Every structure is written in structure tokens, then in C-alpha cells.
């Protein structure tokens, strides 16, 4: 299979992308915010502004609770929550604003046998590869129902430890490859700074953007998708390969600059339409 190189914000005609776009979707960890940390107030303002211009989706390997603490808590009062689409656990769940609360529209949970066996395999392979942490910051393996997530240093590890643990993604990729061989019927992806995500095959970020396009009556090629893990082993890559207008970022600071460009481009496009 040919490898697609995903452009960064300087390698794409953003005015053209904004003219085509009907949705903007973002990864969360290391795209909108550092791992498990809330978005900055500046990012909160950008995302809030974007929701007044275009439907915005959050597509993340994290749980809904993390979206709540990292994203929703940082939105400003003028954010249009009806224009916000939340797709946690790599799109295996989907939430919409009901007018008073966030309502889960669907959940594609793994069966109990697979979840139990995957948990055992993640620990076994991590120990074999010498990356199992005996004294983690919180749980190393989390059962999210629709996804099992391995966090090498624990869910609450300090951000500087996480970012230094596997800078070239080799450890995560090696673990994902080993677990994937054990469960060919499941999707196994290298996720955030220290994580590996396991879910049902065919229900990943490619599924998420295709489902989003169908729900919003648009085309996948009209969704801008922004993420940091756009390498072939990364969990954002399937969304790019699904045919989105994919943009690679290097971290939240880069995403802030991209958001400013998107807001400017979408505002010009809206002005030209009026």
C-alpha cells in the first residue's frame, strides 16, 4: 500500500481548503492540548469561535470524560455547542448536545472475551518488551468498553515524562504490532505519547470521519482533519487515508496558528457567500 505524506499548514492552500470544507475535525492529545491536560484558554477561544463558523468535531482515542475536562471545560460562553460533535475512543462513541446535556448517540462496545484477552495480551507483551511500568501514575490499562487503552506510564503520568518516553514512537509501534498479530480481527493503533488503542476492526478514525460525513450530509473530502499522528502507524492516519483534507500539526502551539488561519479563511468564505 502506498504511503501518503500528509502536509502541514504551510504545505496546503488553506484558502482553498476553507472554501471546500463543511466540517473541521480535530484530534485531541498533542493536537489541541498536551496529553490529559486541558486546552489552553487561547485554544478554548479558537475552538469556540470555530463552532460559530462551521461544525467542529473532536475525534480522539481518549474517553468522553477526557473530552469533558480537556475541551468542554475550556469553551467560552459564546461557543455553539449544537455545532460540536464529540467522537471519543477513536470514534467508537458519538455524543451531541441535546440543549441541556451531552447525549450519547451510539456506542460500539467490544465483547467481554475480547476485552479480557486484550488486557492480558497488552500486559504480557509490554513485560516481554521491557516497557511494563511497575510503579505507574494511575492505571496502565483502561477498559473503555468500546476501546482498550494501554498507557505505558499510567494515565496520570507527568506530561514531561510522557513526551520523553517514546519520542520516535518506536516502543508504541512495536507493542501495537505484537498485539495486532494476536488479534487480527481487531484494530490496534499507536495512539498518544505513551498509548496503544485497541478497538473493533473497521471502527477507527476512518470510520469516525465517514460516519460524521453521513450524519452531516456531506462528503468525507469536505472534512478538514487535524492531527499530530499522521505517520502510517499513527491513529490519525486512517482519517487521512479516508479522504479528508488532512493537515499534520506538531503540537498545540502549531494548532493555534492553524486555527487562526482557518478562522480567517472561513470568515472570508462566509463573507463572500453573503
Q: Measured between alpha carbons, how far is 254 from 259 in angstroms, rounded to an integer?
A: 9
Q: 151: which 3 cell numbers?
A: 498507557
Q: Measured between alpha carbons, how far is 28 from 51 in angstroms, rounded to an integer?
A: 16
Q: Confirm whether residue 82 is marked as ligand binding.
A: no
Q: Confirm whether residue 197 is marked as ligand binding.
A: yes
Parallel/antiparallel/unpaired status of strands 195-200 and 223-227: unpaired
Closest by CA to 108, choosing from 90, 96, 122, is: 90
Q: Confirm whether residue 93 is marked as ligand binding.
A: no
Instruction: Single out the catalytic residue among 15, 29, 114, 204.
Output: 29
Q: Confirm whether residue 29 is marked as ligand binding.
A: yes
Query: What one-character DSSP code corresponds to residue 29?
Result: B
Instruction: Single out the catalytic residue among 8, 27, 143, 260.
Output: 27
Q: Confirm whether residue 257 is marked as ligand binding.
A: no
Sequence-distant (≥ 6) Cβ neighbours of residue 72 within 8 angstroms? 102
Instruction: Give catalytic status of residue 29 as yes or no.
Output: yes
Q: Confirm whether residue 236 is marked as ligand binding.
A: no
Instruction: Give catalytic status of residue 166 as yes or no.
Output: no
Q: What are phi and psi of 12, to 5 degrees?
A: -135, 145
Positions marked catalytic: 27, 29
Tell me the binding residues.
Answer: 27, 29, 144, 161, 195, 197, 228, 244
Tell me the binding residues for Mg(2+).
Answer: 27, 29, 228, 244
Amino acid at each position: 500500500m502506498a504511503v501518503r505524506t500528509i502536509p502541514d499548514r504551510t504545505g496546503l492552500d488553506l484558502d482553498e481548503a476553507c472554501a471546500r470544507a463543511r466540517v473541521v475535525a480535530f484530534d485531541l492529545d498533542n493536537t489541541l492540548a498536551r496529553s490529559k491536560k486541558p486546552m489552553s484558554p487561547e485554544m478554548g477561544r479558537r475552538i469556540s469561535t470555530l463552532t460559530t463558523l462551521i461544525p467542529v468535531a473532536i475525534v480522539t482515542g481518549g474517553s468522553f470524560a477526557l473530552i469533558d475536562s480537556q475541551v468542554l471545560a475550556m469553551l467560552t460562553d459564546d461557543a455553539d455547542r449544537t455545532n460540536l460533535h464529540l467522537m471519543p475512543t477513536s470514534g467508537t462513541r458519538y455524543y451531541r448536545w441535546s440543549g441541556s446535556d451531552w447525549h450519547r448517540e451510539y456506542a460500539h462496545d467490544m465483547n467481554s472475551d475480547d476485552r479480557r484477552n486484550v488486557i492480558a495480551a497488552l500486559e504480557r507483551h509490554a513485560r516481554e518488551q521491557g516497557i511494563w511500568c511497575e510503579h505507574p501514575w494511575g492505571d496502565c490499562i483502561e477498559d473503555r468498553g468500546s476501546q482498550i487503552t494501554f498507557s505505558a506510564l499510567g494515565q496520570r503520568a507527568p506530561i514531561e515524562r510522557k513526551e520523553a518516553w517514546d519520542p520516535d514512537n518506536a516502543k508504541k509501534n512495536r507493542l501495537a504490532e505484537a498485539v495486532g498479530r494476536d488479534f487480527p480481527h481487531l484494530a490496534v493503533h499507536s495512539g498518544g505519547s505513551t498509548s496503544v488503542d485497541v478497538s473493533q476492526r473497521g471502527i477507527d478514525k476512518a470510520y469516525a470521519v465517514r460516519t460524521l460525513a453521513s450524519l452531516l450530509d456531506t462528503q468525507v473530502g469536505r472534512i478538514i482533519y487535524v492531527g499530530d499522528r499522521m505517520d502510517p502507524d499513527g491513529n490519525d492516519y486512517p482519517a487521512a487515508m479516508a479522504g479528508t483534507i488532512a493537515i499534520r500539526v506538531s503540537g498545540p502551539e502549531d494548532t493555534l496558528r492553524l486555527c487562526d488561519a482557518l478562522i480567517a479563511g472561513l470568515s472570508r468564505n462566509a463573507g463572500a457567500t453573503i
